[in-house]
Amino acid sequence: MSKNKLTREDALQFHMKPSPGKWEIQATVPMTTQRDLSLAYSPGVAIPCEEIAEDPATAYDYTNKGNLVAVISNGTAVLGLGNLGALGSKPVMEGKSVLFKRFADVNSIDLELDTEDPDEFIKAVRLMGPTFGGINLEDIKAPECFIIEQTLKEQMDIPVFHDDQHGTAVICAAGLLNALHLSGKKIEEVKIVLNGAGAAGIACLELLKAMGAKHDNCIMADTKGVIYQGRTEGMNQWKSAHAANTKARTLDDAMKGCDVFLGVSAKGAVTQEMVSNMAENPVIFAMANPDPEITPEDAHAVREDAIVATGRSDYPNQVNNVLGFPYLFRGALDIHARAINDEMKIACAEALAALAREDVPDEVAMAYGKKLTFGRDYIIPTPFDPRLIHRIPTAVAQAGMKTGVARRPIVDMEVYELSLKSRMDPTQSILRSLNARARANQSTVVFAEGDDPRVLRAAVMYQRSGMGKALVVGRDDDVKEKLAAEGLPEAYDELEIVNAATTPHLETYKTFLYERLQRKGFDAQDVHRLAARDRHVFAALLLAHGHADGMVTGATRKSAHILELINHVFDAGPHDGAVGVTAVLHNGRIVLITDTLVHEWPDENDLADIAERGAFVARELGLEPRVAFLSFSTFGSPVSERAEKMHKAPRVLDARKADFEYEGEMTVDVALNTQAQENYPFQRLTGPANVLVVPARHSASISVKLMQEMAGATVIGPILSGIGKPIQICSTVSTVNDIMNMAVIAACKVD
């Protein structure tokens, strides 16, 4: 499997486009009329202000406090980069903010404080307390981080959580619970050695001791050796709290006979000899980033019985903080918690451990690229697991309620769990699954329009994302010049540039094309011009001859014109079984609109064909199809000859015994709105339609473009289905990400 390649230019472009940074603010209330403005601000806003002043708890009802977390840093310990300062840390804090939103639907804002004085930092955060439902501290160096967090916990009545400490500790604890379960050991009995006496290391030992590990069974080491009782060099109060009664003085000494090694230190800190000296079925969590204390390969070379975890995504058992902090805060916010205590952290760890022991959903296995089952290479759930959002926060909330930190306990946990399931955007899991399939397929995709900078960037992104190989149709000098202008000069050597002047297959292509077109008014010269000079035809010929697995085009020419060109190479006409299916993603919903490309004015039999192709594409995208035949009338009202074919099309599917849900004719609001569907108890859809079959191509095109321009929907397609080869025809307004999405679908071989 290809590895994901990230270059400096990729990272800078990602943070610069489409607009600088990684998040923006949007209003959640209407702001259109004068009345809206009067309610949002003066004079209407005075009413909730008075309510909150009288009863501060109502701030959770009338403001966004209850779903707002601040990510705060002074930049003194940024990732593995050291002290970059407050401003230098901002990209990381923005990233943390969007992870909160992506994984747990928690709104978050990043705040960078320009001070290294703990007292100033504490005062600034404390004074901002009324704004937020929780505080996530990040990338603050030790020992100041201990002072800051402890003081803020004492002074504030909302959760304060330093993720570098406790986030790592929680995931580490979850994995360790399962590793000990597999090795038949108990936390109360094992000997644990931890290397790295910083914020994360100290928090790991504190949490494990709270879960039952014995003090003198836990040996901590730093760069000066073992932290033992009586040591004076390089000590502070936080290290002293974990000084063990031991004769070991070096990490090598401590590792002899130990059951568990936890590393939050540096690359190469552990040798194979140290691993050899560990007890039977050793557990090794080498969590240094970007390179672990010892690699899994080196550890397993000397100890096949070892269970190994790292902080890296390219090894099994990744200790990834994103499994913890979004869900800890989700649960804490939902009970209006005063704090996140040890019991809530332990509940999070235990819930994560329990989840890893259950059967793994197919979509998780697909995203991970292999079947996952609980065992030595799977002791921690993956971030792709859709169950995290409703399993972990419920455990955290229950622990918070039991320990008395909940201001507003949850009355019905079943209802709460259902509400959590509905919070997450289902389109994310679909897109993630498609990316995983594409990465597994390693398809060669030809990008027909190498003269467009957007297409070039998408081709580079496709290849660097480890999806497969990108072929770009274009002239070498032109592609080289455009890549350099985009700040990607080195990408020229990564991409394969193809054109008629350099291909050894041109005569084969021309012979094939001439045989198809000689009785359609094309002579040999016409065929030469098409094959040698038209990049869309040339790309289609590559695909037809198996020199590519998929094709992306349409960024520079209108789709109707491109379909005409593709028809020279493939049978993609109205009566050839071809259908254009466009996916529209908006506000957490996905609908497929058909036919957006081929059929100008389909009859009822064509509409039934279109519905079947739409249902096929839906299943390829991971959706269970619910097809609606759309009209301006619903089940015959009002009566119109123009609606008649939409009324007949479902009867055609009845005769064909179609194996998916379908209904019609109906208006779009009935198709998409379950409440509206209740007015027609006889209708057969069990939920909102996700495949919309429209009366004609023009109405399909209008619908898609209206959603794209007015609502800002993400549009993927048209997917040209029914010709046996994956062809994606994007629109001329496509962004780089839109083109990349279409390349992914082509790579998944959705055809």
Longest dimension (CA), the chain: 96
Q: Output the six-digit token pair for 497.
A: 């540039």
Q: Is the pLDDT score of 303 beyond 50?
A: yes
The CATH number of the structural domain formed by 164-385+405-422 is 3.40.50.720
Is-contact 308 317, C-beta < 8 A?
yes
Three-state DSSP at 64 gives coil
Cα 173 off chain centre by: 24
Return binding residues: 78-85, 138-139, 164, 289
Q: What is the pLDDT of residue 25?
A: 87
| β partners of residue 551 | 446, 727
- Sorting pLDDT into bands at 50, 70 and 90, what band is 572? confident
Is-contact 220 201, C-beta < 8 A?
yes
pLDDT tens by residue, 238-277? 999 999 999 999 999 999 999 999 999 999 999 999 999 9
Question: Position of tokens 């994302």?
Answer: 465
Rg over CA atoms, the chain: 30
Instruction: Tell me the mean pLDDT in the region 110-133.
Output: 98
Q: Output the six-digit token pair for 410.
A: 């949850």
pTM of the model: 0.79
Per DSSP, helices labelled H in 500-659 are 506-517, 524-533, 535-544, 559-566, 604-620, 644-656
Is-contact 615 601, C-beta < 8 A?
no
Per DSSP, helices labelled H in 545-694 are 559-566, 604-620, 644-656, 668-672, 674-677
Angle between helices 163-183 and 199-210 (to 10 degrees): 50
- Sorting pLDDT into bands at 50, 70 and 90, what band is 368? low
Return binding residues for a divalent metal cation: 138-139, 164, 289
Q: Output the six-digit token pair for 19.
A: 């607009």
Quick one: CATH architecture of 435-568?
3-Layer(aba) Sandwich (3.40)
Is-contact 351 392, C-beta < 8 A?
yes
Q: Is the pLDDT score of 2 beyond 60?
A: no
Please tell me the distance from the alpha carbon of residue 384 to that of residue 370, in angstroms, as a whole number: 13
pLDDT tens by residue, 163-194? 999 999 999 999 999 999 999 999 999 999 99
> Which strand (E) or helix (H) includes residue 417?
helix 413-423
Instruction: Tell me the mean pLDDT in the region 637-661.
Output: 90
List C-alpha distances in Å: 234 to 25, 230, 315, 393, 412: 46, 12, 34, 39, 51
Q: What is the pLDDT of residue 623?
A: 85
- Peptide bond connecting 143 to the previous residue in cis, omega within 30 degrees of 0: yes
Domain 576-722 CATH assignment equals 3.20.20.140: no
| β partners of residue 586 | 589
Q: What is the pLDDT of residue 10?
A: 82
Phi, psi of 176 (to 5 degrees): -65, -40
Per DSSP, helices labelled H in 424-452 are 426-441
Tell me which amino acid residue 313 is: S
Return binding residues for NADP(+): 78-85
Q: What is the pLDDT of residue 362?
A: 67
> Which strand (E) or helix (H) includes residue 481?
helix 476-485
Cα 359 off chain centre by: 22
List C-alpha distances in Å: 8 to 5, 89, 206, 370, 521: 10, 17, 38, 30, 52
Is-contact 329 107, C-beta < 8 A?
no
- Exposure string of 522-540, with b = 16+ CB inside 10 Å and e = fewer, is beeebbeebbbebbbbbbb
* CATH for 32-158, options being 3.40.50.1980, 2.60.120.650, 3.40.50.10380, 2.40.50.100: 3.40.50.10380
Q: Among residues 65, 90, 96, 725, which one is catalytic? A: 96
Q: Is the pLDDT score of 314 beyond 90?
A: no
pLDDT tens by residue, 542-556? 999 999 999 999 999
Q: What is the pLDDT of residue 426?
A: 66
Residue 350 or 359, more confident:
350
| β partners of residue 225 | 222
31-40, 360-369, 494-503, 632-641: lowest mean pLDDT where?
360-369
pLDDT tens by residue, 202-241? 999 999 999 999 999 999 999 999 999 999 999 999 999 9
Domain ranges of the chain: 32-158, 164-385+405-422, 435-568, 576-722
Average pLDDT, the chain: 92
> Which strand (E) or helix (H) includes residue 470?
strand 468-473
pLDDT tens by residue, 602-640? 999 999 999 999 999 998 887 899 999 999 899 988 877
Q: Which class for 645: exposed (0-12), middle (13-18), buried (19 or more C-beta within 10 A)?
A: buried
Known active-site residue 96:
yes
Instruction: Tell me the mean pLDDT in the region 666-676.
Output: 93
Angle between helices 506-517 and 535-544 (to 10 degrees): 100
Percent of the chain with pLDDT over 90: 74
Instruction: Say if 164-385+405-422 and 435-568 have the same CATH topology.
Output: yes
pLDDT tens by residue, 446-482? 999 999 999 999 999 999 988 999 999 999 999 999 9
Q: What is the pLDDT of residue 712?
A: 80
First to last CA, the chain: 23
Q: Output the six-digit token pair for 708.
A: 């794209």
Q: What is the pLDDT of residue 3?
A: 58
9-23, 403-417, 664-678: lowest mean pLDDT where?
9-23
pLDDT tens by residue, 483-506? 999 888 999 999 999 999 999 999
Is-contact 317 175, C-beta < 8 A?
yes
Q: Is the pLDDT score of 365 beyond 90?
A: no
Please tell me the distance from the alpha carbon of residue 348 to that of residue 328, in angstroms, as a whole number: 7
